[in-house]
Amino acid sequence: MLPLPESTPSRSADAATLATQAVAGDRAAEALLCVRLSPAIRAFARRRLRDPDATREFQQEVLLIFVEALRTGRLEDPARVAGFVLGICRNLALDRARERERRGKLWELYGDSVSACELVQPAEVTLEIMRLEDCLTELSQRARQAVWLTYGELLSHAEVSTRLGISEGNARVLRHRALHALKQCVASPKRWEAMQ
């Protein structure tokens, strides 16, 4: 998880409250909104781009525009902050080329603020990675492959089913079951953690 400023607002605060605070100049609320929305922005980008670098760049660009909008009072209805960010994503997806030049200028102005919300690729193994490594061994080879092809090799659903040599329906069920099993497994502390 990314570090947040010391004056972090309540993590249970609703989006409209956070957006209102952010528009009023509360940088901690702004940062928390960015952190909350970043996974959704990345999901939006991953569905379309299927490339880690392009996803990172897209997220960065959306957040730059979002922060600028907050600080210049362009978010008129704080209750609709989620839709506002989704709108940014859609507009950006429609015409990224037009925005590329603008991004350089925004980066100079707001780059420092946005960099705190960026996705950090771990250089060293983390507890979460070790849990995943541990849990993967309990899946069948086919289930591991289904998850790997989608989330590691970033293939589309149709490509995954072709690679596995099974129907799209079967690939979907296989992946869903594997994801649920993994989620349950990684959420629980492991025996080896007690020995750290």
Partner 1 sequence: MSTADDSLSLLDDYLAAAMSDEHAADFEEQMFAAAAAGRAPELGYLDALFQQAQWFTSRGGFSSGATAAQIAELRKLPNVHYIDVEADTRVSAWPADTKFVVYRLDVDLRGYENIDVAIVTPEGEHRKWFRDVAYDPADGALYGACDAPLAVSTFRREPLIARIQASRAETGKREIVAELSVTPR
Give the footprint of partner 1 on residues 42-81 (CB under 8 A).
42-44, 46-47, 52, 81
C-beta of 65 vs 147, nearer to partner 1: 147
18 close to 9: Cβ distance less than 8 angstroms: yes
Q: How many CB atoms lie within 10 A of CB 5?
A: 14
67 close to 110: Cβ distance less than 8 angstroms: yes
Looking up tokens 């899946």, which residue turns up? 139
| Exposed/middle/buried for residue 88 (C-beta within 10 Å: 0-12, 13-18, 19+) | buried
Q: How many CB atoms lie within 10 A of CB 53?
A: 8
C-beta of 94 vs 195, nearer to partner 1: 195
Taking the complex as a whole, the smallest distance from the CB of residue 95 to partner 1 amounts, in Å, to 18
- CA-nearest of 118, 117, 136, 140 to 128 is 136
* Residues touching partner 1, count (CB under 8 A): 68
C-beta of 108 vs 179, nearer to partner 1: 179
Which residues of the chain form contacts with partner 1 (CB under 8 A)?
A: 11-15, 18-19, 33, 36-40, 42-44, 46-47, 52, 81-83, 85-86, 89, 119, 121-122, 125, 128-130, 132-134, 136-142, 144-145, 147-148, 150-153, 156-158, 160, 168, 172, 175-176, 179-180, 182-183, 186, 190-192, 195-196
